[in-house]
């Protein structure tokens, strides 16, 4: 998306204090713990990926961070120690399932959401018209929302959610249901926010997206934090892996030093134990298959994710 203002113009001075601080946060529905004793600190100015399989508690956590839900226990603070309720005007939230007022004009709807986040009505309308035009929706300003195509509707929703240029942007599955063009638009937007010094926290199933743009990641499983830290650190902690292109029948799980294998047939990623001997492994592999590529490198985020959430993750990690 062609954003109206340059990163330098719109850069946010980074004040002290974390963008998000969760202290022993829990959310319980009867005996079910959607989120359990979750502590997390997201520094300002970072793009933070929030990963986890379905039902892990991602949406519940994001809703608590944005003040839509109150935690059952613990404390949520944002933007240097204030409550989400106090930070509403400085916080942007795009939920996974996005809706439009079908009978409302596109520009009015976008401006309405901006005004609800604290923009003056006139300013919100001017800004909405400008951003919609820059996103290629200039001809649709006066059209009813139900006249927009799905892709255009998604663009309008993203613009509406972030019209007030929030310091902290929370996106729940922002790529879900988007076509590649709009997914690219959101990716670009996140990158731009990073350049501007804003903080972005987003949940996703698409591990590759997280790996592509995140400074840090947190993975939760059954409501508990299982992995957290800067992306490179997380991957480094997980050890090394081998990327393998091969022909034949691979039985990697039995090989010494291999913790897990993500085998797609003719191509596999083998996650290695710290003490693994790669020379010996190569030798043993040549006894099983004909090797075209043997590449030692740090593990992928997908491997980290799979390792963290076990078999449940295989259904969700793209």
Binding site for other proteins (CB under 8 A): 27-30, 34, 59-60, 63, 66-73, 85, 88, 91, 93-95, 97-104, 112-113, 115-117, 157, 160-161
Minimum Å gap between C-beta 32 and other proteins is 9
Question: What are the residues facing 202 on neighbouring strands?
Answer: 49, 171
- Shortest gap between Cβ of 141 and other proteins (angstroms)? 16
Instruction: Write down the least CB distance from residue 125 to other proteins, Å.
Output: 13
Question: Which tokens sit at 82?
Answer: 């204030």
Nearer Cβ to other proteins (84/313): 84
Whole-number minimum distance, CB 298 to other proteins, in Å? Answer: 36
Q: How far is the CB of 206 from other proteins (least distance, A)?
A: 21
- Phi/psi at 76 (nearest 5 deg)? -115, 125
User: Would you say 3 or 164 has its CB closer to other proteins?
Assistant: 164
Nearest to 173 by CA among 62, 35, 84, 34: 62
Tell the smallest beta-carbon distance from residue 247 to other proteins (Å). 48
Closer residue to other proteins, CB minimum distance, 88 or 198: 88
Report how far apart, in Å, the C-alpha atoms of 214 and of each of 47, 106, 208, 247, 298 are. 5, 32, 10, 34, 16
Closest by Cα among 163, 208, 218, 211 to 189: 163
Q: CB-wise, 9 or 103, nearer to other proteins?
A: 103
The residue (of 7 and 141) whose beta carbon lies closer to other proteins is: 141
Owner of token pair 């309405």: 112
Alpha-carbon distance values, 189 to 226, 230, 242, 307 (Å): 28, 21, 33, 30
Alpha helices by DSSP H, the chain: 7-10, 58-65, 106-116, 121-132, 150-161, 180-195, 207-213, 231-237, 278-288, 301-309, 312-316
CA distance 116 to 51: 29
Of the pair 30, 180, the CB lying nearest other proteins is at 30
């Amino acid at each position: 998306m062609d954003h109206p203002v340059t990163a330098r113009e719109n850069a946010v001075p980074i004040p002290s204090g974390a963008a998000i601080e969760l202290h022993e946060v829990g959310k319980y529905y009867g005996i079910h713990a959607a989120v359990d004793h979750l502590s997390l600190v997201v520094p300002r100015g970072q793009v933070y990926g929030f990963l986890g399989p379905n039902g892990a508690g991602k949406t519940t956590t994001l809703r608590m961070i944005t003040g839509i839900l109150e935690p059952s226990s613990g404390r949520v603070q944002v933007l240097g120690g204030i409550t989400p309720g106090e930070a509403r005007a400085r916080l942007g939230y795009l939920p996974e399932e996005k809706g439009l007022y079908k009978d409302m004009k596109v520009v009015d709807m976008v401006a309405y959401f901006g005004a609800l986040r604290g923009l003056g009505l006139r300013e919100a309308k001017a800004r909405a018209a400008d951003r919609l035009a820059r996103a290629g929706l200039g001809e649709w300003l006066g059209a009813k929302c139900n006249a927009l195509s799905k892709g255009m509707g998604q663009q309008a929703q993203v613009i509406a959610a972030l019209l007030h240029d929030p310091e902290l942007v929370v996106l729940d599955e922002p790529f879900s249901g988007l076509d590649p063009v709009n997914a690219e638009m959101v990716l670009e937007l996140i990158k731009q926010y990073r350049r501007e010094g804003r903080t972005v926290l987003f949940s996703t199933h698409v591990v590759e997206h997280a790996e592509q743009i995140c400074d840090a990641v947190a993975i939760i499983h059954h409501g508990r934090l299982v992995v957290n830290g800067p992306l490179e650190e997380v991957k480094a902690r997980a050890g090394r892996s081998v990327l393998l292109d091969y022909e034949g029948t691979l039985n990697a799980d039995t090989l010494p030093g291999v913790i897990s294998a993500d085998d797609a047939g003719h191509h596999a990623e083998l996650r290695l134990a710290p003490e693994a001997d790669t020379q010996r492994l190569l030798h043993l592999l040549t006894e099983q298959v004909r090797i075209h590529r043997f590449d030692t490198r740090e593990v992928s985020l997908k491997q980290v994710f799979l390792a963290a959430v076990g078999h449940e993750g295989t259904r969700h990690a793209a």
